[in-house]
Structures are given as C-alpha cells and as structure tokens.
C-alpha cells in the first residue's frame, strides 16, 4: 500500500476528547443476530478472520463489548487485483438488561462466528408474576 | 501522421461515448463507498500473481463440507448454504442482521485454471482458494536471437 502523506499542520482537537485506538487500522461493526429464549439471550456475531485467541469480551456495568483483531491478508508474490471487502478489526457494544446473570456468560468462537449465551438470572425468572384475565 | 486519419479505421468509433462511460464510472465510484461493493454473498477478494490467483471469501459460519467449489476453464463457482438457528416456540429475534440461506457466486478469471491443482482452505470463517494458472495458458517468453 502507498504510504500516506503526512500532514504537517497541527490538527485541531475534538472537545470532548474523542478516544482513539492505538492501532491505525480499520474497525468494523460485526453483523449480529440476537434472540431470546425462555432462559437465555443468544448473541451471534459474524467476525470472519477471528479465532478464540483474538477475541475479547468485556462486561462493564451493563455494557457488553465484543472486540476482535484480524491480521491483514497478504500473499507474497501476489498483488491485490479486485476487492469486495476490507480487512480490519471488529468492535461493538450492547447494553445488557439486569435480567442477565453476570456470572454466567458463555462465549464460543467457531469458523469466524462468535456465539455468546447470556443466561437469565434465576431470581428474574422467579419474579415473573402471572396476570390472569378476569 | 497520426492525425484525424486514425478515426477512419473504425477502431475508435465515437470518442464521446467513451468519455461518457468514464464519467458515469467516476460518478458511480464517488457516489458512495457502498456502491463499490457487490451485494453478493460471500464477498471476495482476488489476488493475482505470476503463478495464478488466490481468491479469498469472507463466509463465516458455514459448514466447509457443504461448500462446493467448481472450476471450469476460467470460471470459479462457489456455492453453499448458511444456516441460522431454528427458533423454538416462544423464542424471538431482537435483531437479525446476518445473511442466511443458499448462495452461489461465479467469478471469471483472466486465465485458464489448472483445475487439478486447485487448493481450498477454510479457516476462521475465511475461505481461501489457490488457483494455479494452467501451463498451456502461461505466457511464453520469446527469445530474440541476434545474429
């Protein structure tokens, strides 16, 4: 890739300060499916190029962040001729409701797909009050 | 010598249409990044080298045993199916952004492929197909003899 031209002029800062990633690489929003079952919420994210060693999941307060890093494709002796997709990292965050049991979150990665199962807390299940029609 | 005379050969019939085509192409390019990309699944990147080409495709969550890769002459066809979870009674989607279902894509390569030597690998949701150029189709170097 051609080296980018460096700007000599100072750049004005954003206020409030915008946080940036230390690595200068493209970041994409992974496509997700989220569905709810009786006792869990299942989140499935497409993150091609990511394996179990390159995915991070953090839960802070009620924000679940998923992030994946992807090494760019490069084939020595070959040059890019046609491109339909870009390679970059993934990042996306979701707010999680209180009904999720914070200690029981399972995550698996297979074939570039991250599957997170968020189990619902027992007490929430019990707290459901049945309303009958008269 | 190369003045207006060349038009008479009919090779360049109408220079204006070429210009218009170029302009249309440029407008398409700059009208939005999304226009650049085909909407077919899976998206592919093609790499070219002297020995042939490498096609990579982002197809996360597919069963590699159910992907069919067919190479005929200079065309490559990828087909398969992407299955989604089957929801039971009382379960519902909050979001459904991932594409699913059957897919078929055919790419035409700029050379004949040696179909016996094609190699494909599926790793981390990315399909990589190495397509070597057929020996008969490779350009021959012609030596110029000097006397």
Domain spans of chain B, in order of start: 15-85+101-136
Would you place residue B32 in the very low, low, confident or very high pLDDT band (cuts 50, 70, 90)? low
Neighboring chain A residues of B60 at a CB cutoff of 8 Å: 46-48, 111-113
Contact A47 B61 (CB under 8 A): no
Q: How would you class B10 by CB atoms within 10 Å of its CB: exposed for 0-12, middle for 13-18, buried for 19 or more?
A: exposed
Q: Is the pLDDT of residue B119 over 70?
A: yes
B76 in contact with A, Cβ within 8 Å: no
Q: Which pLDDT tens digit goes with each residue over A36-68?
A: 998 899 999 999 999 889 999 999 888 999 999
Residue B34's pLDDT is what? 44
The tokens describing B18, both together, are 């070429």
Q: Is the pLDDT of residue B17 over 70?
A: no
Q: Is the pLDDT of residue B2 over 70?
A: no
A positions 57-116 inside 8 Å of B (CB):
73, 75, 77-85, 110-113
Q: What CA–CA distance (Å, rounded) separates A125 from B13?
A: 76
Q: What H or E segment, with its residue span, contains residue A54?
A: none
Average pLDDT for residues B5-18, to the nearest whole number? 49
ipTM above 0.95, yes or no: no
Would you place residue B124 in the very low, low, confident or very high pLDDT band (cuts 50, 70, 90)? very high
Q: Which pLDDT tens digit goes with each residue over B58-78?
A: 999 998 898 999 999 889 999
CA distance B98 to chain A (A): 6
Q: Is B23 helix (H, G, I), strand (E, B) or coil?
A: helix
Going by CATH, does the domain composed of B15-85+101-136 fall within 3.10.180.10?
A: no
Neighboring chain A residues of B92 at a CB cutoff of 8 Å: 35-36
Interface A-B, measured as beta-carbon pairs within 8 A, has a size of 111
Check: pTM over 0.80? Answer yes or no.
Answer: no
């Amino acid at each position: 890739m051609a080296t980018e031209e460096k700007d000599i002029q100072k750049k004005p800062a954003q206020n409030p300060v915008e946080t940036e990633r230390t690595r200068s690489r493209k970041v994409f929003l992974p496509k997700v499916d989220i569905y709810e079952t009786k006792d869990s919420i299942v989140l499935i994210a497409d993150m091609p190029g990511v394996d179990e060693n390159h995915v991070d999941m953090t839960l802070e307060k009620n924000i679940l962040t998923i992030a994946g890093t992807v090494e760019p494709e490069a084939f020595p002796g070959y040059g890019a001729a046609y491109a339909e997709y870009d390679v970059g990292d993934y990042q996306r965050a979701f707010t999680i409701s209180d009904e999720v049991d914070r200690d029981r979150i399972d995550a698996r990665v297979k074939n570039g797909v991250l599957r997170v199962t968020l189990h619902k807390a027992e007490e929430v299940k019990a707290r459901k009050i049945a309303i009958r029609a008269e | 010598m190369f003045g207006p005379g060349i038009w008479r050969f009919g090779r360049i019939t109408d220079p204006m249409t070429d210009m218009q085509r170029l302009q249309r192409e440029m407008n398409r390019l700059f009208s939005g990044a999304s226009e650049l990309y085909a909407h077919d699944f899976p998206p592919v990147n093609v790499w070219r080298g002297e020995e042939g080409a490498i096609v990579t495709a982002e197809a996360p969550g597919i069963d590699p045993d159910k992907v069919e890769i067919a190479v005929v002459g200079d065309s490559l066809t990828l087909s398969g199916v992407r299955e989604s979870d089957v929801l039971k009674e009382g379960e519902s989607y909050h979001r459904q952004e991932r594409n699913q279902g059957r897919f078929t894509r055919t790419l035409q390569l700029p050379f004949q492929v040696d179909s016996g030597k094609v190699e494909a690998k599926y790793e981390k949701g990315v399909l990589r197909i190495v397509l070597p150029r057929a020996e008969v189709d490779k350009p021959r170097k012609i030596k110029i003899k000097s006397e």
